[in-house]
Structure 1
Amino acid sequence: MDIALIGGLAMAFLSIIVSTVMDGNSFGPLIGPSSFVLVFFGALGSAMSSLDKEDLGRIVPSILKSIKGASFDNSATVTMMAQLADVARREGVLALESRLGEIEDEFLKKGTQLILDGVDSERVEETLMIHMEAVGTRHKKMISFHEAVGGYMPTFGMIGTVIGLINMLGNLADPSQLGAGMAVALLTTLYGVIFANMMFLPFASKLKLISDAEQASMQVVLDGILSIQAGMSPQMLVERLESYLPPSEHVGYSDRMAAAA
């Protein structure tokens, strides 16, 4: 679970609950199934209309991914690439084939296979860049979807409020119902703001962070693959790739190889 997302949303919900209790208010008037249906499914449906059929199946996984989070161990990637560079330097590029089974990162495995296939550096870079752009494009679709849902929700909240006001004004003959009617009308606006700012917009922000982290991880691999293909020494490769890492993870070639041994 992504502690930052779960903790942040829990704090936001808790602030609403605590403030409501502190003011001596009850939660009964804040529960409105019809308002929920209008805001939640109305906004979701409008946003879904902009997706392709293939993307519809990625809605739930994208929500789960934002909640679960994702981490990319770039330091471990640098160590692996140092090992690959060492093998290529001592035994030749073709010797990398014996290490393919040890590579778990599919993007790194793809780049290593391109080297083994004798693809020139320009084509290797072009192929890997196309892969990175395709991944980024898929991520942007889901990010845009969640942003769209978050944008539509306040709008559907206002739609519900207008509908409620129209119904309320149609029953002016019974003044005793005006207060209750106004409360129901405003409830949809509340739902729209809450669900937008405490669910879908945070989901979109988290997915963007994950996407940026994945792209950064792929950039480390791309740089490393091209450096290995160019015959860069393992020591120089580590020094170069550690530039992508925070200073606390700069340990050098010797320590990395010793730890991996």
Structure 2
Amino acid sequence: MDKLSIIGLAVAIIAITLGYSLEGGMVSGLIDGPALIIVLGGTLGAVMLQSQLATFKKALGVFKWVFVPPFYDTQAGIEQIKSWASTARQKGYLALEEQALVSEDPYAAKGLSLLIDGSHEQRLRDTLEIELMLERERLLDAARVYEAMGGYAPTIGILGAVLGLIQAMAYISEPDKLGAGVATAFLATIYGVGFANLLFLPVANKLKQVIEEKMLYHELIAEGIMAMQQGETPANIELKLEAYCAERHVSAGY
């Protein structure tokens, strides 16, 4: 559970509602069903229009990573690669076949399978790099869905405000109702700007960070498998891969 994401969202919402309350506003006055439907529905529809089905479904699937990101233990990964290297040196690559079959990581399983099949060094490197590049692009495309939402939401909010003003003009001869109608109309703008900057754009940026963490771990796996093919000892492989632990700490802000 990523507590910082939860705390950050809560702090943003509390700060805005508290500040509005201190100015004498009623928090309940910020709730408007029609404006919410226009902004969220319009934004969602626009993003669905520009996205492919697979990308949109992927975006929905990775949303949970914002609050419950996958954990990649680089030290455990290094130990696993050392174990594979030791087995390969003692019994040969075929002894890793069971490891490839039971691996929960499809990327690692594919790398081991190529190693076992005796793929040429350049072919192994090219295949792993292409797989890594395609995986990164698929996941980044999913993150860009939320980035697009952040771009559309403010504009849809303005559209909602205009529609609200058109409706409010029906009460032009009734000042009391006109004022309330105008206030309600501007809620759509608030929703558009608020959802974009407090939810959609932060979600997109957080997903990009999680994706890069995943890619870094898979780079470690690829480098380890290629080092195994080159016949390096488990100790040398560990020394080479230790840099990924330091890189992970820097990217995570440790």
Residues 28 and 123 from structure 1, CA distance in 2 versus in 1: closer, same or farther, beyond 3 angstroms?
same
Map 1:147-186 → 2, pairs under 5 A:
147-186=147-186
Equivalent position of 1:202 in the other structure: 202
Task: Decide whether the 8 Å contact of 1:94 with 1:116 is kept in 2.
Answer: yes
Q: Distance in 2 between matches of 1:51 and 1:185?
A: 29
CA distance in 1, matches of 2:200, 2:227: 41
Instruction: Report the identity percentage.
Output: 33
> Across the two proteins, how many residue pairs are aligned to each other?
249
Deviation at residue 94 of structure 1 after TM alignment: 2.8
SS in 2 for 1:119: coil
CA separation in 2, counterparts of 1:180 and 1:248?
53
Contact 2:59 2:143 survives alignment (8 Å)? no
User: For residues 1-37 of structure 1, what are the alpha-carbon distances to aligned partners after superposition, in whole Å with 9 as ceiling and x for unaligned?
Assistant: 3212111101111112222333332122211100000
Q: What's the CA shift for 1:72?
A: 1.0
Give the aligned residue type for 1:114. Answer: L
CA RMSD of aligned residues (A): 2.0
- CA deviation string 1:115-164 (max 9, x = no partner): 11111111111111221122112112211111111111110111111222
- Residue pairs, 1:69-218, within 5 angstroms: 69-100=69-100, 103-218=103-218
Alpha-carbon distance in structure 2 between the residues aligned to 1:99 and 1:157: 53
Q: Indicate conservation of the 8 Å contact 2:146/2:204, yes or no.
A: yes
Cα 1:144–1:243, aligned 2, differ >3 Å: closer, same or farther?
same
Structure 2 partner of 1:16:
16
CA shift for structure 1 position 74 = 1.2
For residues 54 and 244 of structure 1, the distance between their equivalents in structure 2, rounded to whole angstroms, comes to: 31
Q: What one-letter code is carried by the residue in structure 2 that aligns with 1:112?
A: L
> In structure 2, do the counterparts of structure 1 residues 248 and 40 end up closer, same or farther at CA, with 3 Å as the change threshold?
closer
Q: What SS class does the counterpart of residue 25 from structure 2 fall into?
A: coil
Gaps of 5+ in 2: 250-254
| Greater shift in the superposed pair: 100-109 or 158-167 | 100-109
- The match for 2:236 is 236
Matches within 5 A, 1:57-72: 57-72=57-72
Amino acid in the other structure paired with 2:84: L
In structure 2, do the counterparts of structure 1 residues 102 and 172 end up closer, same or farther at CA, with 3 Å as the change threshold? closer
Match status 1:227 vs 2:227: yes
